[in-house]
Amino acid sequence: MEALSLSIPIISVTNSNTNYISLSASTNYASLSSLHHRSSSSSTRPFTLKKTVVRVQAESEDFELKQVRDMAAAKKRWEALLRDEKIKILTPKEAGYAVQLSNKPLLDVRPSNEHNKAWVKGSTWIPIFDVDSGLDVGTIPKKVTNFAMGGWWSGMPTLSFDNSFLPKVVEKFPKDAELIVACQKGLRSLAACELLYNAGYSNLFWVQGGFDAAEEEAFEGTVPLKFAGIGGISEFLGWTDQQRAVAAKEGWGYRLVFSARLIGLFLVADALFIGAQQIGRYLQEIRTH
């Protein structure tokens, strides 16, 4: 088996029945065959708000079903690439050794919202998917689906494929380079490895589990990397696994901050409810006079 040029063990993949990674049908980066953007223009416009809502809902459901199918197909492709060792596996610890001790190139393919929170010294950041800030007809259904499927809780924004990803990688790295590819949880980096392999890269190393699975000493740079992938209401309230782990070490002083936030959230919600009632009564009085 081909391995990195340093004395660390490389995990081999021999059992085709092994579950290499937990795949979620809610991700929006499963199908590399559908990475090209759809046209955001439309020649028809709904005449009423009701028609717009119905159409957006239907498109959201179609998008969700497509994600399920794409993820199933992607899982088969990725398992085959790992099983045949066309893409090699590294643990975060092994990848850290390779980067820190042997100066092997680390390609960080995370979106900007995660990279801005934490980064690895010496890594090259080229996102394969980045935050989609568009508000056109083509992106609204995706945003609605992402929000409804937990974006409000996790803080994960809607992502779209970056068409400049492959050209930027080709410009930066030769195709025979030993390239370590990583993301936050491991899915986007696996998608990137598939794309790079199809483009002719032959020495690809995938960081299994991503930065979420890395210990603080594994990589040099902004730490802890595990906190780069959290956000939304769950991060605000301290209800993520990463924050619970820190709370277990830090004790009540750390937990009190998030308890205060929870109490504050309830007070704000109560104030908004009372305010809405008062406005309702005021409007009712206006109508009766």
Length of the chain: 289
Q: Give yes or no for residue 220 having a pLDDT over 60.
A: yes
Q: For 84-101, how does the pLDDT look when each residue is reduced to its tens digit (9 = 90+)? A: 999 999 999 999 999 999
Distance CA 91, CA 79 (A): 17
Domain boundaries, given as residue ranges, for the chain: 32-229, 251-288
Residues labelled catalytic = 183
Q: Which pLDDT does position 10 carry in this prediction?
A: 38
Long-range contacts for 110-113 (Cβ within 8 Å, ≥24 apart)?
Answer: 110/183, 110/184, 110/188, 110/211, 110/228, 111/157, 111/159, 113/157, 113/231
pLDDT of residue 212: 92
The average pLDDT across 40-67 equals: 52
CATH entry 3.40.50.620 includes domain 32-229: no
Q: Which amino acid is at 97?
A: Y
- C-beta atoms surrounding 198 within 10 Å: 12
What is the SS3 assignment for 138? coil
Using 50, 70 and 90 to split pLDDT, how confident is the model at 124? very high
Q: Give the rounded percent of residues in the chain with a pLDDT score beyond 70.
A: 77
Helix (H) or strand (E) holding 190: helix 187-198
